Amino acid sequence: MRCAPVALRFRRDPAGLAQASLDSARITHAEPRAAWGAVAVNQAIVHLLEGGAIAETPQEAVAGIPVDEVRAAVLEAGDRSPEDIRAGGFVLETLGAAFWSLLHGETAREAIERAVAFGEDADSTGAVTGAMAGAAYGVAALPSSWRDQVQFRDRLAAEAARLLALSEADLAPENQSGGAASLR
Q: For each of the domains in the chain, give its residue range(s) and CATH number, in order of start.
A: 4-165 (1.10.4080.10)
DSSP-derived letter for residue 85 is: -
Nearest to 169 by CA among 1, 16, 3: 16
CA 92, CA 108: separation in Å to the nearest integer?
Answer: 22
pTM score: 0.89
What is the mean pLDDT for each group of 10 consecutive residues in the chain (184 residues)?
92 96 93 97 97 98 98 97 92 97 98 96 95 96 94 94 88 47 27
Q: Taking a C-beta distance cutoff of 8 angstroms, is the pair 119, 87 a contact? A: yes
Q: Residue 171 has what pLDDT?
A: 64
Residue type for position 92? L
pLDDT tens digits, 153-184: 999 999 999 998 998 887 655 554 433 332 22
Residue 175, CB-side half-sphere exposure with 13 Å CA sphere: 12
Q: Residue 48 has what pLDDT?
A: 98
Nearest to 127 by CA among 97, 148, 152: 97
- Residues 40, 24, 94, 162, CA torsion sign: negative
- DSSP SS3 for 27: coil
Count other C-beta atoms under 10 Å from residue 146's C-beta: 13
CA 113, CA 11: separation in Å to the nearest integer?
Answer: 27
